[in-house]
Amino acid sequence: MRLREETTLSGIEMAAILISTVIGVAILPFPLFAVRGAGTGAGMLTLMAIGITLIGLLSVIALGLRFPGQSIIQYGAQIIGRPAAAMLNALLIVFYIVLTASAAREFGTVVVTSVLKQTPIEATVIIMLLIAAISARKDLRTFANIHLFYTPIILMPVLLIVCLSFQNAEPLYLLPIFDHTPQILSSLLTITAMFQGFFIITLLIPHMRQQSKAWVSGLSGLGVAGALYLLIITSTVAVFGAEEVKELLYPTLELAKATNLPANIMERLDAAFISVWVTAVFTTLFSNYYFAVHALKQWLGTRDHRLFVFFLLPFLMLIAMLPENVLQMYEGIALIARGGFVLTVLCPVLLLAIAVIRGKRGAADAH
Amino acid sequence: MLTREEVRCVRTFAVLAGMVLLLSGCWDRLEIEDRAVILGIAIDLAESKEDLEEEMKEQINHSNAIGAPDMPVIKISAQIAVPGRIPLGPGESGGATVGEKPVWILNAKGHTVEEAMNALQQELADQIFLGHLRIIVVSEKYARNGLGNLNDYMRRQTDIRRTAWLAVSKGKATDIIHSSPQLERVPALYLLAMLDHSVDMGKLPNEPIGRYWIRNSNLGQEPILPYLVLKQQENVQVAGLAVFRKDKMVGATTPLQIGAYMAVNGISEGGYSFFVPVVNSSKNQYVLMRTVNRDTDTRLVFADGRPKIIANVSLEGNLREKTESDSYNFSDSSAIKELEKKINEALTQEVMHLIADTKRMKADIFGFGEYVRALAPKYWKEHVRSNSRWSEQYHSLDIEIHINYKVRRVGMKAK
Amino acid sequence: MSNDKLQTSPNLNPEQLLARYAGESCPASLSQLLEIVRLIMGSSDDLVIRTFYIYGRYEAVMLYINSLVNQQITDQQLQSFMTLPEWLSGTDKLGPEALKQTLLNKTVHLSEITVVSRMGDLINMLLNGKTIVAVEGLGEAFKFGARKIEQRAIEQPQTEQVVQGAREGFIEQLHTNLSLLRYRLPTPSFRILICEVGEYTKTSVAICYMEGIADPKLVSEAENRIRAIRLDGVLDAGYIEQFIEDHHYSPFPQVMNTEKPDKAVANLLEGRIVILTDGSPFALIIPAVFGQFFQTTEDYATRFLQGSFVRMARVIALVFSLVFPSLYVAIISFNPELIPTEFAVAVAGGRAGVPFPSFVEVLIMEISMEVLREASIRLPQQVGGALSIVGVLVVGQSAVAAGFASPITVVVIALTTIGSFATPAYNAAFALRMLRFPLILIAGMLGVYGVVIGLILIANHLLTIKSFGMPYLSPAVPVHFRGWRDFLIRAPLWILKKKPSYRQSRRYEDKEEGTA
């Protein structure tokens, strides 16, 4: 006999996983993208992106409940047949591998430009990937524990910085609420991409204690993460003004720089913010890595996911090192964002529609 | 096949080996005492170009075959903290002996800021560190030439604080940095304290470099900076606000106009005093009022399709002194009412004067343009769109100021 | 029992001999019995073999080990065996069975006297301090307890000082310790299960739990893990701990120990299991989660505001002692822009002239602090005090004067060390003290970013490990909100009515598998 604990997920854990996955590396440059696309209408643009994500999220949950005990990797074949599903799965796995690598690279770039200017980018990227890899070997329980533990650690300081920064805010800078520029559509896609971490939910629904709670946790998870993004965009625009945000590579970091704690305990909060952000990047990387590895496992039907963890590592490193400079990297990320939109929003909607039309449905107690 | 324990062992060793390898890195480690901590910078335009060219040859020069920018040569004076000369803690022990300057001031020249900084670095053993740069003083001449290059340099630096002060000096900026005030050991920190305390006392709007950048980026607003003047006693006076338009200084206000500026923008914690002639008195009798609280409600209206700004300024103040002790009594509130009316007239005049000044400079330092941009986006898109066109429009902008002064306290004296 | 069997024996060692004779019944012949005893026990000089005649008629022998036995009791009993009672006729010859009954029921006045029939039992009893009386022709032997072992008095435990609360501490003897628990828990729910561990020491290990509160699966799991221990000698509870813990490579303790009976009882009431080891004044408590290590029984004894405040102070001290030196290194050598300008300039002044990079400086000071700490523990108390004064005042002062360390480093190290002592549990504090070193190293490599990476690694480890199926960071993760009432704060007792508040947060699953 051996003492074993719960292997299923509670609603809170599910929501926490969503929150900490969605809040990731992109919170630093995100206001820049939003303002570039919509000027002072950046908040509205973010809201729209959340709306689009919501459609994807709801379809994924509906699919998950329609095929209990299965993830998109498994029920895909039932809906659109084996060959097409194999294509989709392969695309999904490749997408997640690229996503993980690009997040690691973006992280490395920020660290190298803002904190550790002389450290080779390879060192920062490999350290982050290694930590994610070591954690990705763990089981689902630890996965949930780690996300649950870090979620408040990520949320609290960001909220603190946002609240403190409001004392420098100028509400006038937020107006007009509706505004747009020619690049609004591509910006919308880029912003939507920041929320595509929600897709991990397809892997987790089968493990929920009460699957019906997936709605509540899914919505609240996206709600909290979305609210945080909205707060960040509002406070950066309110403090800096849209025109100034366009001049800043990492507006959120500048926000932390411009804010100081009362009584001069810390003169600037950017380093504190960087540490929180490292944690947020870790949880996101961890989720993406975990998704890639488990999707591979489910697709190939092997029993152990740990096999793939260190197998993927060199590929991730290689992909991460592809872009030659910051600008090229962001162009690549914008490209990935488009692919992500197709895979994480359009695909689930289509799958759901096909499943409903063809009347496909999973066995009630399949596992 | 290895056992679990052996695998673990191997893994631990692999991790340890990795750590040791990383340890050989320490790429970014730079101990605090190995950094040349620059506390303040002064930037001047070099006086005459000819003898500068001579000097420039002696130091590192970035001109190459492709050429160098044809910009006036600037001279940078950097105040570097000397470790050990500034005592640790409030006690006397471990400090410097009197007479040793706690800072070291170095000069360098260049066409651009970065070129000058490189020249400075070339003459310095320790790596320049700008993380504690608290004050940058530029001379009026340099400011009138444009701060575009300086701001570009500062923005690209990761260490620069957005809360550092950028100030304009009437004379040579170097002199301000060189001044050795008696209150604080480190001149740059004294300047910093002076500006910070001025903000606390309501004598200066809080406009550090970060705010300058924001105002400069905003389409309907122009930046201002503190305008400093060096006095005889090695002290520095805040002599007004330097007014900018598109990164170039276009003028300066008087010290008292800072109060008027803050009144229009409703920046609370008022700190300026002014004389008001006593009502119904033919003699030369005045009272001195001091504003303590400011609040402004600015509205945008359209008259004949043209924007008009109406600012309702509510001020609260205290009576500080009378020119003669018993010539005039404040024993009931009606006397105060009379006084308030007088004050409103006087202040409206003062504020309109400032507005007229800025209109002449075509610099909308109050940010009325932001109201137009934010509240009337349609008008903005059709008629303005850009910073320079707003400057033109500001020149003829209709502005209405209503001042509502409340006298709250008269001090410990009963009459 | 043939003679040649005895003669072939000398090649075997005593343990093997004992095992060979363990199952055999006692020989009726006294001489044979003594021969076997001598064979197994060899020539131990503390073995007393006293031949005498019961009632002056029946040949008998008394065996005991005089180092374990209270001579007074054996003397008295010898008398009660030898004296011919008045009611017994002088000439009657009793058969062996009748003699046994007479002795047991009529003449020997001892409450605890039993009969042993196997040689193995006989020898074991003898070694445990029992006195054996064998009678010629009976084929069985009497044993009675006259054990007397020197033990120290019950004192206030040195490792866990309290201001308010019970001052009793466990001592080495298991039975005394059990009595300390029993008298606090006069309830049938309090159960004790004793196992023997150790090939040679045969140490009794008592598993104590509350029936109906403790998870029965946890009890049987603990018993299984203890019975699985294969070890020559168990000299302290720490030996047991190392065999039953889940993660041997983790720096964090997964078993809590205490010297205080009241703490043990409090934990019993919360559904945990207390393991007492004979010969050790430390009780082990399982499962142990991270939160327990900064809680003391005093938190419950004092008023709840006070208890909560002190607990938070401990948590802060804990975090402080872990991250403070590494943060210092990170800020000084990577991000000096974070501290106020005046201070930064002053720090630079203090460090000017120190030849080492700050992380080396901090490491050297930390290591010397550890050395000092270790030295003052091992020294006699009187000398220890002098040493710590020398260490702190003289060494610190002269390190600064000699330009070996900067004054701020000394302050940082001193604060950190004090902080690490604020953790009530020595072993948990040790884990964090140990982890400080890799953190300082990584801070010296990557600055603040490195510190965060290090902390993430530590947190991930904490989130992974379990103690007897209990997640180490519970009730924080996985969340169990009821448990939070008694975690970082200590809610008023009337809210904590049901003590075992977060037992429900886990479930045990059966799985057929051996354990560590």
Per-residue pLDDT tens over the stretch C214-236: 888 889 999 999 999 988 888 89
Contacts B–C by Cβ distance under 8 A: 96
Q: By mean pLDDT, which of A215-219, B331-335, C236-240 is the weakest?
A: B331-335
User: Is A331 exposed, middle or buried (CB count within 10 Å of its CB: 0-12, 13-18, 19+)?
Assistant: exposed
Query: How much is the pLDDT for C3?
Result: 47
Res C502 pLDDT > 80: no
Interface of B with A in 156-215 (CB under 8 A): 158, 161-163, 210, 213-214
Is the pLDDT reported for residue C501 higher than 50? no
Q: Is the pLDDT of residue C1 over 50?
A: no
**CB-CB contact of B142 with B173 (8 Å):** yes
Give the model's confidence band at C348: pLDDT under 50 very low, under 70 low, under 90 confident, else very high: confident
Provide long-range contacts, Cβ within 8 A and 24+ apart, for A355-363: A355/A63, A355/A66, A355/A75, A355/A79, A358/A79, A360/A66, A360/A78, A360/A79, A361/A66, A361/A67, A362/A66, A362/A67, A362/A68, A362/A69, A362/A70, A362/A75, A362/A78, A363/A68, A363/A69
List CB contacts (< 8 A) between C358 and chain B: 31-32
pLDDT at C316: 87
pLDDT over threshold 80, residue C115: yes
- Give partners of B (≥3 CB pairs < 8 A): A, C
C453–A127: do the CB atoms touch at under 8 Å?
yes
Of B152, B173, B182, the C-alpha closest to B69 is B152
Q: Which residues contact B242 (CB under 8 A, 6 or more apart)?
A: B140, B143, B167, B168, B224, B225, B226, B227, B249, B251, B252
Mean pLDDT to the nearest integer, C240-269: 89
Confidence of residue C500 (pLDDT cuts 50, 70, 90): very low
Write down the pLDDT at residue B68.
65
Domain ranges in chain B with CATH number 3.30.300.210? 257-409
Band the pLDDT of C207: cuts 50, 70, 90.
very high
Residues on chain A touching B129 (C-beta within 8 angstroms): none
Q: Which of chain A's residues have a Cβ under 8 Å away from the Cβ of B370?
A: 172-173, 241
Q: Between chains, do B25 and A123 touch, taking CB under 8 Å as contact?
A: yes
State yes or no: pLDDT of A224 exceeds 90. Answer: yes
Q: Is B219 in a helix, a strand, or coil?
A: coil
What one-character DSSP code corresponds to residue A345? I
Alpha carbon C368 to chain centroid distance?
Answer: 30
Q: Read off the pLDDT of residues B341-353 as tens digits, 9 standing for 90 and up.
A: 888 888 888 888 8
Structure token pair of residue B215: 């105002």
Under 8 Å between Cβ of B406 and B313 = no
pLDDT per 10-residue tile (average), chain B, 415 residues: 66 69 68 85 78 60 63 85 64 48 81 86 86 89 88 86 88 82 76 86 86 88 88 80 88 86 81 74 73 86 86 85 70 78 84 88 86 86 84 85 84 73
How are the residues of chain B apportioned to helix, strand and coil, as percentages rounded to the nearest 5? 35, 25, 35
Nearest CA-CA distance, residue C475 and chain A, Å: 11
Q: Where are the alpha helices (DSSP H) in C160-260?
A: 174-184, 216-227, 237-244
Taking only the tens place, the pLDDT of each residue in A103-118 is: 999 999 888 888 888 8
Are B186 and C345 in contact (CB < 8 Å)?
A: yes
Residue A286 pLDDT level (bands cut at 50, 70, 90):
very high
CB B260 within 8 A of CB B351: yes
Q: What is the model's pLDDT at position B95? A: 44
pLDDT of C511 reads: 31
Of C351, C438, C442, the CB nearest to B33: C351
CB contact under 8 A, A118 and B27: yes
Distance to chain B for A15, nearest Cα, Å = 33
Lowest-pLDDT range, A211-220, B104-113, C381-390? C381-390
Please count the structural domains in chain A.
1
Hey, how many other C-beta atoms are within 10 angstroms of the C-beta on A337? Answer: 23
Closest residue in B to A240 (Cα) is B214
pLDDT of residue A264: 64
User: pTM for this one?
Assistant: 0.87
Give the model confidence (pLDDT) of C401-438 as tens digits: 887 888 888 888 888 888 888 878 888 888 888 899 98
- What's the complex ipTM? 0.91
Q: Residue C414, CB half-sphere, CA atoms under 13 Å: how many?
A: 15
Place of tokens 């490599």: C445
Q: For residue C2, what pLDDT is reported?
A: 45
Q: How far is CA A281 from CA A26, A97, A222, A277, C413, in A?
A: 9, 15, 17, 6, 32
Interface A-C, measured as beta-carbon pairs within 8 A, has a size of 112
Q: Which of A141, A267, A282 is facing C456, going by the closest CB pair?
A: A282
Which residues of chain C are at the B interface, by a Cβ-Cβ cutoff of 8 Å? Answer: 249, 332-337, 341-342, 344-354, 357-359, 407-408, 438, 441-442, 444-447
The arithmetic mean of pLDDT across residues C469-475, rounded, is 84
CB neighbours of residue B334 within 10 Å: 9
- Comparing alpha-carbon positions, the chain C residue that sits nearest to B192 is C341
- From first CA to last CA, the distance across chain C in angstroms is 42
- Which residue numbers of B have CB closer than 8 Å to C's CBs? 8, 12, 19, 22-23, 25-26, 28-33, 35, 37, 39, 81, 83-89, 94, 129, 131-132, 134, 159, 161, 186, 189, 192
Q: Which fold has domain B257-409?
A: GMP Synthetase; Chain A, domain 3 (3.30.300)
**Chain B residues inside the 8 Å CB shell of C353:** 84
Of residues B299, B313, B323, B308, the one with CA closest to residue B343: B313
The helices-and-strands tally (H runs, E runs) of chain B is 13, 13
The least confident of B54-58, B286-290, C81-85, C358-362 is: B54-58
**pLDDT at residue number A51:** 92
Which residues in A lie closer than 8 A to residue C448 (C-beta atoms)? 115, 271, 274-275
Q: How far is B412 from chain A (nearest CA, A)?
A: 32
Beta pairing, strands B306-322 & B398-409:
parallel
CB contact under 8 A, C357 and B31: yes
Instruction: Name which of C336, C350, C444 is nearest B88 (Cβ-Cβ).
Output: C350
Give A100's contacts (C-beta < 8 A, 6+ positions apart).
A129, A132, A285, A288, A289, A292, A316
The distance of A119 to chain B (nearest Cα, Å) reads 5
Cβ of A246 within 8 Å of Cβ of B217? The answer is yes
Q: Do A292 and A97 meet the contact criterion of CB atoms below 8 Å apart?
A: yes
Q: How far is C442 from chain A (nearest CA, A)?
A: 12
What would the pLDDT profile of A306-337 be if each residue is shown by its tens digit? 878 888 888 888 898 888 888 888 888 888 88
Instruction: Check residue A208 and give its pLDDT.
Output: 84
Q: Residue A44: give its domain's CATH number.
A: 1.20.1740.10
Res. A19 pLDDT band, cuts 50 70 90: very high
Residues C332, B131: C-beta atoms closer than 8 Å: no
- Of B170 and C353, more confident: B170
- Exposure string for B86-124, b = 16+ CB within 10 A, e = fewer: bbbeeeeeebeeeeeebbebbbbbbbbbebbbbbbeeeb
Candidates A111, A149, A274; nearest CB to C459: A149
Do the Cβ atoms of C513 and A5 come within 8 Å? no
Confidence at residue B20, expressed as pLDDT on a 0 to 100 scale: 62
Q: Is the pLDDT of residue A198 over 50?
A: yes
A117 touches chain B (CB under 8 A): yes
Using only the alpha carbons of chain C, give its radius of gyration: 31
Q: Tell me the CA end-to-end span of chain A in Å, nearest whole number.
A: 24
Q: Which amino acid is present at C120? A: G
Chain C: residue whose CA lies nearest to B83: C349
The answer to whether the beta carbons of residues C502 and C511 sit under 8 Å apart is no
Length of chain B in terms of residues written: 415
Q: Mind listing the pLDDT tens digit for each residue in A55-110?
A: 999 999 988 888 888 888 888 888 888 888 888 889 989 999 999 999 999 999 88
- Check pLDDT > 70 for residue C479: yes
Residue A169 pLDDT > 80: yes
- Kind and range of the H or E element at C100? helix C96-102
Contact check, Cβ <8 Å, A4/C338:
no
Which pair of structure tokens corresponds to residue C85?
């009672």
Put simply, the answer to whether A123 touches B22 (Cβ < 8 Å) is: yes
Longest pairwise C-alpha distance within chain B:
110
* Gap from B234 CA to chain C (nearest CA, Å): 22
Q: Which of B33, B104, B133, B191 to mutate to test the interface with C (most CBs of C within 10 A)?
A: B33
B155 touches chain A (CB under 8 A): yes
Q: What is the pLDDT of residue B49?
A: 62
Q: Which domain holds residue A324?
A: 11-349
Q: A68: which 2 tokens?
A: 């209990």
Instruction: Tell me the C-alpha distance between C182 and C174, whole Å.
Output: 12
Nearest-CA distance A6 → chain C (Å):
6
Q: Is C362 left (phi over 0), alpha (psi -120 to 50) or beta?
A: alpha
Is-contact B363 B245, C-beta < 8 A? yes
Q: What is the pLDDT of residue C276?
A: 93
Comparing A127 with A359, the larger pLDDT belongs to A127
**What pLDDT was estimated at residue B85?**
66
Do C341 and B33 count as a contact with CB atoms less than 8 A apart?
Answer: no
User: Residue ranges of the domains in chain C?
Assistant: 3-145, 174-288, 313-471
